[in-house]
Amino acid sequence: MNLIRRVLPPILAAVMLTGCSAVAETEPASASATPTAAPLITVSVTDGATGVAPDTALRVTSRSGTLTSVRVDPADGGDERAHVAVRGSLDPARRTWTAERTLSPATTYEVEAVAVGAGGRRTTTRTSFTTLSPSRTNRALLGPGDDQVVGVGMPVTLSFDRPVTDKAAVERSLKVTTHPATEGSWGWVRDPHTGRERVDWRPASYWRPGTEVTVRAALSGVDTGGGRYLPRDISIGFTIGAARVNRVDLAAHRMTVSENGQVQRVIPVSGGGPATPTYNGTTVVMDKVADIRMNSETVGLGDAYDMDVAWAVHLTSSGTYLHAAPWNASLIGNSNASHGCIGMNTDDARWFYDRARPGDVVVTTGSDGATVDVGNGLGDWNLTYEQWRKRSAL
């Protein structure tokens, strides 16, 4: 009878644990060990659950034992950006594991947790659940392009198809890593012409040339507001090139082109006339195109012009370019008469175009126009760093 009493309690403990979990396995203590209860593991999401919200707080807890491992992986594999593994952290007592990110939508997850109790009793629990397929989504585009070399004014940009109401949730999912270390902040802006909302990360001052930047956006499963979820993670890496800061003085009709603090060329220019003045302020090269059709109807100027333009360097989403303007040859260097763009002679425009890269800085002064809006193109630098930081949701 004494032998039966010594063996029976561990067997009963194993049976009871199995009854509390979807799949639980326990390893019995040796016959000579003092009988102890096996750890009980619970998962905050019910085994077999469907339609689980991707931003559900996922936790795994061990009672009367410590967790030794927790794995939360998508069952169907596939695109790792859309179906991400979920990492988490243990509390100091190793009793509770908490997920450090959101879950991916429309994904079946498998949870495997192992805990060890007193006397070496080990329990392994396996459960699974499926997240909902949202009826509404949001999509995001992260820039600049992966592996690009960009200028010292280029911010990280994350733009959205739909407005974001829970900006803090989005920001918490973003991480910027730089080498060397660089102070910077996220800030929210809206393009006044396209209406698109975005969050940018810019340094406190222009980037140091040679800086390496990595951006990880753990967006899969983030609710941007009202159940409009983001579908996948995004990541990029880019490098900062030479410091090219170009200063346009429209009162003097000159542009001074500098690289790493050394003047490379002074170029005669012509800016916007009295009715359509060029924006003052700091713009950043967005892209460039060797030949583009410019039509005044696209920028609300009626039928003022419709022509092919060469060596065009793009500065604002509202349509400001630096470009060749041979039709204004007699005005370049002595008068402002364009519809808002900055014109050059063809040879100078070709030279500038060949050197320009996205992220280069163009600072314009001397115009009768307003300062460019912070959201019009990459106008982040028109705010002081303290003003910029206040645009962060965190």
For position 296, what pLDDT does the model report? 67
Mean pLDDT confidence for 108-121: 94
* Angle ∠(230,235,239) on CA atoms, nearest 5: 145
287-306 pLDDT per residue, tens: 999 999 887 667 777 766 77
Q: What is d(CA 195, CA 197) in angstroms, rounded to the nearest whole number?
A: 6
- In this predicted structure, the answer to whether residue 72 has a pLDDT above a threshold of 90 is yes
Mean pLDDT confidence for 248-260: 98
Cis-peptide, bond into residue 10, ω within 30° of zero = no
For position 81, what pLDDT does the model report? 60
**Phi and psi at residue 171, to the nearest 5°:** -60, -35
For position 9, what pLDDT does the model report? 36
- In this predicted structure, the answer to whether residue 83 has a pLDDT above a threshold of 80 is no
Mean pLDDT confidence for 182-203: 96
Non-local CB neighbours of 167 within 8 Å, separated by 6+ positions: 188, 199, 393
315-326 pLDDT per residue, tens: 999 999 999 999
Mean pLDDT confidence for 103-108: 94
Closest by CA to 45, choosing from 12, 65, 22, is 22
Q: What is d(CA 214, CA 220) in angstroms, rounded to the nearest whole number?
A: 18
pLDDT band at 35 (very low <50, low <70, confident <90, very high): low
- State yes or no: is 20 an active-site residue: no
pLDDT band at 160 (very low <50, low <70, confident <90, very high): very high
Are the beta carbons of 222 and 55 closer than 8 angstroms?
Answer: yes
Assigned token pair, 142: 């992260």
Assigned token pair, 302: 């009626």
- Number of H helices and E strands in the chain, helices first, is 4, 25
Mean pLDDT confidence for 129-137: 95
- In this predicted structure, the answer to whether residue 183 has a pLDDT above a threshold of 80 is yes
For position 3, what pLDDT does the model report? 35
With b for 16 or more beta-carbon neighbours within 10 A and e for fewer, the 88-107 pattern comes to: bebeeeebbbebebbbbbbb
- In this predicted structure, the answer to whether residue 332 has a pLDDT above a threshold of 60 is yes
pLDDT band at 8 (very low <50, low <70, confident <90, very high): very low
For position 64, what pLDDT does the model report? 86
Helix (H, G, I), strand (E, B) or coil at 28: coil
% of the chain exceeding 70 in pLDDT: 87
- In this predicted structure, the answer to whether residue 31 has a pLDDT above a threshold of 80 is no
- In this predicted structure, the answer to whether residue 37 has a pLDDT above a threshold of 90 is no
- In this predicted structure, the answer to whether residue 347 has a pLDDT above a threshold of 70 is yes
Q: Beta strands 149-150 and 234-240: pairing type?
A: parallel
| Ordered domains of the chain (ranges, CATH) | 2-130 (2.60.40.3780), 140-241 (2.60.40.3710), 244-382 (2.40.440.10)
For position 7, what pLDDT does the model report? 36
89-100 pLDDT per residue, tens: 999 999 999 999
Active-site pick, 253, 314, 323, 339: 323
For position 17, what pLDDT does the model report? 31
pLDDT band at 232 (very low <50, low <70, confident <90, very high): very high
- In this predicted structure, the answer to whether residue 312 has a pLDDT above a threshold of 90 is yes
Mean pLDDT confidence for 245-266: 98
